[in-house]
């Protein structure tokens, strides 16, 4: 276990817990953690995860803006993406992961290119939904964490693997917390419409 693994995990854990609590501070802490994770995954030859960390840095900056002002200058509320969206995006994610895995297998010395690519692809989907404050983001984070735990353990990133198992639990807790906020938003909107 290296100092880099410890530092990246500490900062990302803070970011993930903040996301679960629906806090805008998840984004700037995430940027720092993703830069550190990018370096760690490069050393572990998990190149799809390096690409993912670069994606996270850019989208975290955008998510920070969107969460603060993405609703006509107001904070964006929790909402649903819907089952139709999930049913469309999931097979597309599998296809993209398979194609990326083939590319990694052919042109790099990547370790476990398919699993690495699945983590990449479904993390992108989860991040996109998180940026939009969609409840279904947490379904995809559960899937990502399920794949990532054994992948990282196989590269002897034991702390990272352990924390991704904790993030799996966090995703469940966050799902229910966000769902309660969604219900609160719905009740507020219903009450406002009824009073008109």
Tell me the mean pLDDT in the region 69-79. Answer: 75
Query: What mean pLDDT, rounded, does the chain reach?
Result: 88
Kindly tell me if the per-residue pLDDT of 105 is higher than 70.
Answer: yes
Q: Which domain holds residue 50?
A: 3-194
Most distant CA pair in the chain, distance: 63
Kindly tell me if the per-residue pLDDT of 186 is higher than 80.
Answer: no
Sign of CA dihedral 104, 109, 113, 117: negative
Tell me the mean pLDDT in the region 160-186. Answer: 89
- The whole-number pLDDT of residue 111 equals 84
- For the chain, the domain total comes to 1
Tell me the CA end-to-end span of the chain in Å, nearest whole number. Answer: 60
Q: Which residue has the higher pLDDT, 75 or 114?
A: 114
Q: Which two tokens stand for residue 154?
A: 């196989």
- The whole-number pLDDT of residue 121 equals 93
Kindly tell me if the per-residue pLDDT of 86 is higher than 90.
Answer: yes
Question: With a threshold of 0.85, does the pTM exceed it?
Answer: no
């Amino acid at each position: 276990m290296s100092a880099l693994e410890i530092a990246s995990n500490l900062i990302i854990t803070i970011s993930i817990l903040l996301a679960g609590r629906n806090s805008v501070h998840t984004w700037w802490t995430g940027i720092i953690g993703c830069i550190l994770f990018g370096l760690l995954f490069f050393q572990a030859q998990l190149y799809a995860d390096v690409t993912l960390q670069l994606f996270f840095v850019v989208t975290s900056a955008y998510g920070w803006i969107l969460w603060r002002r993405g609703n006509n200058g107001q904070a964006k509320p929790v909402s649903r993406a819907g089952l139709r969206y999930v049913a469309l995006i999931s097979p597309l994610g599998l296809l993209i992961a398979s194609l990326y895995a083939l590319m990694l297998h052919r042109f790099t010395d990547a370790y476990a290119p398919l699993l690495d690519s699945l983590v990449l692809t479904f993390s992108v989907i989860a991040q996109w939904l998180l940026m939009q404050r969609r409840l279904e983001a947490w379904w995809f984070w559960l899937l990502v964490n399920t794949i990532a735990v054994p992948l990282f353990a196989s590269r002897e990133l034991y702390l990272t693997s352990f924390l991704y198992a904790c993030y799996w639990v966090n995703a469940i807790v966050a799902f229910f917390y966000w769902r309660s906020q969604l219900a609160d938003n719905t009740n507020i909107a219903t009450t406002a419409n009824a009073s008109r």
